[in-house]
């Protein structure tokens, strides 16, 4: 029943906001390398680097809170069982990202964004509206979201300290998963969103990432 599904998804959302999500996959680790940098741990990070990495990982954690909300809302909005399954699959992998980034923040002695309830509520509303605009639009929204997240993660790989291999391994695996999700959405019939919509999405993401880096 719809009410049962709604309660289940709200419970899942509350767990995401509270940071108690469990990963189904182990945290990605840096590949072995003959380069001595591969053995460098967090002790090698300067205080400034540690704060910067924590800010980036907090932004990524917020992105995963939003991803949970978007996919949960889109799953509730569609009437097609196969799309519910697709959104469920993507959401499960995003749960891994959520757990990985939360754990990394803890390792760095930092915390998730204090505004996570706000980010979740806004993303859920947007995802539900997108879902009610039709499956092709909903899938197109998923595709464009994942494309923008992919570019965002690319910028983080450029910005993270080269010797912070632990954070880089997490971000790189997240990036690979986002590429897969975006392609799956396009293969399922997602349309390309109009350019003005894409620009609004980028502007909204900019507000979120800039704020979440600090708060």
Q: Could you give the angle at the alpha carbon of 154 between the alpha carbons of 72 and 204, nearest 5°?
A: 50
Closest CA relative to residue 28, chosen from 110, 113, 103: 103
Which long-range contacts link 7-15 to residues 24+ away (Cβ below 8 Å)?
9/72, 9/75, 9/76, 12/68, 12/72, 13/68, 13/69, 13/72, 13/120, 13/124
64 labeled part of a ligand binding site: yes
Residues 112/62, Cβ–Cβ less than 8 Å: yes
Phi-psi region of 109 (alpha: psi -120 to 50; beta: other; left: phi over 0): left
CB atoms near residue 33 (< 10 Å): 10
146 labeled part of a ligand binding site: yes
48 labeled part of a ligand binding site: no
163 labeled part of a ligand binding site: no
192 labeled part of a ligand binding site: no
97 labeled part of a ligand binding site: yes
Q: In the block, which residue shows the tokens 């509520």?
A: 121
Annotated binding site for Fe cation: 64, 94, 97, 146, 178, 181
Binding-site annotation, residues: 64, 94, 97, 146, 178, 181
């Amino acid at each position: 029943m719809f009410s049962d599904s709604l309660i289940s998804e709200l419970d899942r959302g509350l767990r995401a906001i509270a940071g108690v999500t469990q990963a189904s996959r182990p945290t990605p680790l840096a590949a072995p390398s003959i380069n001595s940098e591969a053995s460098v741990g967090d002790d090698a990070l300067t205080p400034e680097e540690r704060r910067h990495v924590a800010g980036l990982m907090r932004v990524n954690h917020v992105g995963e809170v939003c991803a949970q909300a978007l996919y949960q809302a889109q799953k509730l909005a569609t009437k097609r069982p196969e799309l519910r399954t697709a959104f469920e699959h993507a959401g499960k992998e995003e749960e891994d990202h959520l757990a990985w980034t939360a754990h990394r923040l803890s390792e760095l002695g930092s915390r998730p964004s204090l505004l996570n309830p706000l980010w979740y509520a806004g993303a859920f509303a947007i995802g539900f509206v997108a879902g009610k605009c039709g499956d092709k639009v909903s899938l197109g929204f998923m595709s464009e979201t994942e494309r923008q997240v992919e570019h965002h993660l690319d910028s983080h790989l450029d910005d993270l300290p080269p010797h912070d291999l632990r954070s880089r391994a997490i971000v790189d695996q997240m990036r690979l998963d986002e590429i897969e999700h975006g392609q799956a959405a396009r293969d399922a019939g997602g349309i390309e969103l109009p350019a003005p919509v894409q620009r609004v999405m980028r502007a909204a993401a900019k507000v979120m990432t800039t704020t979440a880096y600090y708060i």
